[in-house]
Structure 1
Amino acid sequence: MTVTPHRAVTRNGVMWRGMGVELVQAMTHQRIDYDFYAKLHLLVAYQQGIRRDGDSHIEGLPRSTRRDVAKRLTLVPAGRQFHEWHDPRIPTCATYFYFDPTELRIDSDNGAAGAVFAPRLFFEDAAIWNTMEKLRQAVCSPQGVNRLFAEALGTVLLHELARLEGGTEPCATAAKGGLAAWQQRIVMAYIEEHLSEQVPLAALARLARLSTFHFCRAFKQSFGVPPHRYHTIRRIERAKGMLAERKHSVTEIGLTVGFSETSSFTAVFRKITGQTPSRYHRALG
């Protein structure tokens, strides 16, 4: 993305394999031009922006002079020229998502393999916006970017765009053989990100775009255990890793992985491993 004048905006971004996210904030009320042409798909999410005058154009679409662009989305397929300019009444704040189609693949079992994106100017889609916002917040986290979680969200966002092109509903029916690969990635990443917290079943089901009932059934078929059991096992695995480091007490480790009392941590640890945390720790030595 080329911005003119380049000093009129601040730009902060992160890139990883096949994807990138960039936050662009206008710092002036003067005219700003934005140009994009690449072998990448571009999704623009305008968090804020009202212009006195302006023009937006994607190759193959009529021009738009829409004034209020806040809470709108623009999709520029790879290989399409995109140009817009803003004479802002309220400085524009937008997030740019870049997808490399040569690096990313959409699972065929999702019914979106080979999706060809059509150009779209200033459209609305609640599911895409919600996923976009989660990815933006993950990138802007004060604790730093959790790349596994961000990459999983990026994959979901790509699937949402493919679903938009295919005209399918965002809430998919249950996968016949369990969760699709993209659903497994996003759910696993979310659980790892919130390992020390209570993770509502409904939240996981929403990430997978399934009803709670279908999600539970598909999850167990994919992982061999129910979601709550998987979450508990991951907590204990994290605790075992911390015990091996020999840097923390059993009480500290229990609190870190989400147990409010040492007794409950010890009981769950023994139930899963067959021994108490202290005994496991001594055995390591």
Structure 2
Amino acid sequence: MATSSLSTALTSGTRFDPRVSQPPRHTKLRLLDCRSIFSGAPIAPTDRHGDRLRPGRTKPEGPCPSVEISPADGVKRRAVSWPGTTAEIVQATSSGRIEYRSHAHVHLLVLCERGARREGETYIEGLPRSTLRDVTRKLTFVPAGHEYCDWHEPRTAARMVFFYFDPATLPVPATSDEHEVSLAPRLFFEDAALFATAQKLTALIEGPASDDCSYLEALGRVLAHELMRVNQGSTPGKHAVRGGLAAWQQRTVTAYIEEHLSEAVPLAQLAGLVSLSTYHFCRAFKQSFGLPPHRYHTSRRIERAKALLAKPVFSVTDIGLTLGFSETSSFTAAFRKATGLTPTAYHRSLA
């Protein structure tokens, strides 16, 4: 995957053809002064030493950071731009409430390297709101034109990386028409390959080899391809398999449930993800999995609870709260109904 992606060239409005050799390009890497982005002044490009560029010199070719953060002095921001893409590293420095907002014409990928919140809520236009407490190693994708809002009172200092993509420079799958590619919003999901590439790119930006612009741009292309791969996995087909959900529908729904185990997932939301009515979705889901959606969701919660109970560092109360049960008693009742044992008895049986 990485080898083929590194050899690609992303050109605006042009589909990549692996049969045609691509001439080498020289990337101009620029650091961006994030302090002036939302102060009403135009963004000021700087060189690697933080000095502002003289008039007439080349400006960054990537999109400007579009996430507004309030209070502005509650975080440290550092953005690096190259053709078609900008990466912005954001480190929280305040223990108070911090808000993030964006509604822009660029795609936004959010990498949360670490972060746990006492209180908070995240919203992407088109998806249910999430109050997930621990968002460490989670990814969020906001397509161009979608509203993104997040607020939290941090329990630990959050560190995030925002990747901004110019829609015109994203690779178009060979099986798709570039005018028909539609990217779906995703909130707090996990993908090992995408996360690893984003983290490697972040480390390169912060490391001593950050002057290697060709390598940085190549990794940026890999990240773009990984993003499109994830999106293809959730791209709707035209018809469902008779009597059950199509393979893409099963992947979409189960991935969404896994990503939101600790939350109440509305049936209408699941049906909407796969373009079915609530009635037909329930019938097709049961045909595919042998359980109604609600019972499947509960069963996945119990399986996750079993895995957590195998680790002695977690208490029964903590596990119940992590999985969205408001009371230890309700968690215990659900666990006993599914397994015949209380969580404590199950934990002891593993000793």
Q: TM-score over 0.5 for the alignment?
A: yes
* Deviation of the 1:157 alpha carbon: 1.0
- What are the equivalent positions in structure 2 for 1:81-230 lying under 5 Å apart? 81-102=147-168, 104-109=169-174, 113=178, 115-167=181-233
Q: Deviations over 1:191-239 (max 9, x none)?
A: xxxxxxxxxxxxxxxxxxxxxxxxxxxxxxxxxxxxxxxxxxxxxxxxx
Distance (whole Å) between structure 1 residues aligned to residue 140 and residue 94 of structure 2: 22
Identify if the C-alpha distance between structure 1 residues 100 and 53 changes in structure 2 by more than 3 Å, giving closer, same or farther. same
Q: Which runs of 5+ in 1 are unaligned?
A: 169-285
Identify if the C-alpha distance between structure 1 residues 119 and 152 changes in structure 2 by more than 3 Å, giving closer, same or farther. same
* Deviation of the 1:161 alpha carbon: 1.2
Aligned residue in 2 for 1:266: none
Amino acid of the residue matched to residue 167 of structure 1?
A: G
Number of residue pairs the alignment of both structures matches: 167
Amino acid of the residue matched to residue 136 of structure 2?
A: A
Q: Deviations over 1:161-196 (max 9, x none)?
A: 11112129xxxxxxxxxxxxxxxxxxxxxxxxxxxx
In the superposition, the TM-score normalised over structure 1's length comes to 0.56
Distance (whole Å) between structure 2 residues aligned to residue 105 and residue 143 of structure 1: 25
Q: Which runs of 5+ in 2 are unaligned?
A: 1-66, 235-351
Distance (whole Å) between structure 2 residues aligned to residue 16 and residue 29 of structure 1: 32
Identify if the C-alpha distance between structure 1 residues 54 and 100 changes in structure 2 by more than 3 Å, giving closer, same or farther. same
Amino acid of the residue matched to residue 105 of structure 2?
A: K
- What are the equivalent positions in structure 2 for 1:2-13 lying under 5 Å apart? 2-13=68-79
Distance (whole Å) between structure 2 residues aligned to residue 118 and residue 79 of structure 1: 11
Aligned residue in 1 for 2:103: 37
* Deviation of the 1:144 alpha carbon: 2.9
Aligned residue in 1 for 2:90: 24
C-alpha contact 2:108 2:164 (8 A) present in aligned 1:
yes
Larger helix fraction of residues: 1
Identify if the C-alpha distance between structure 1 residues 145 and 44 changes in structure 2 by more than 3 Å, giving closer, same or farther. farther
C-alpha contact 1:51 1:86 (8 A) present in aligned 2:
yes
Distance (whole Å) between structure 1 residues aligned to residue 193 and residue 93 of structure 2: 30
Aligned residue in 1 for 2:121: 55
SS in 1 for 2:198: helix
* Deviation of the 1:105 alpha carbon: 4.0
Same amino acid, percent of matched pairs: 44
31-40 vs 111-120, which moves further: 111-120
Aligned residue in 1 for 2:138: 72
* Deviation of the 1:80 alpha carbon: 0.4
* Deviation of the 1:152 alpha carbon: 1.1
Give me the CA root mean square deviation: 1.7
SS in 2 for 1:139: helix
Identify if the C-alpha distance between structure 1 residues 15 and 119 changes in structure 2 by more than 3 Å, giving closer, same or farther. same
Distance (whole Å) between structure 1 residues aligned to residue 193 and residue 177 of structure 2: 16
Distance (whole Å) between structure 1 residues aligned to residue 131 and residue 202 of structure 2: 27
* Deviation of the 1:91 alpha carbon: 1.2
Distance (whole Å) between structure 2 residues aligned to residue 46 and residue 112 of structure 1: 32
Q: Deviations over 1:86-135 (max 9, x none)?
A: 10010110011010012x04154486955321111100000101111111
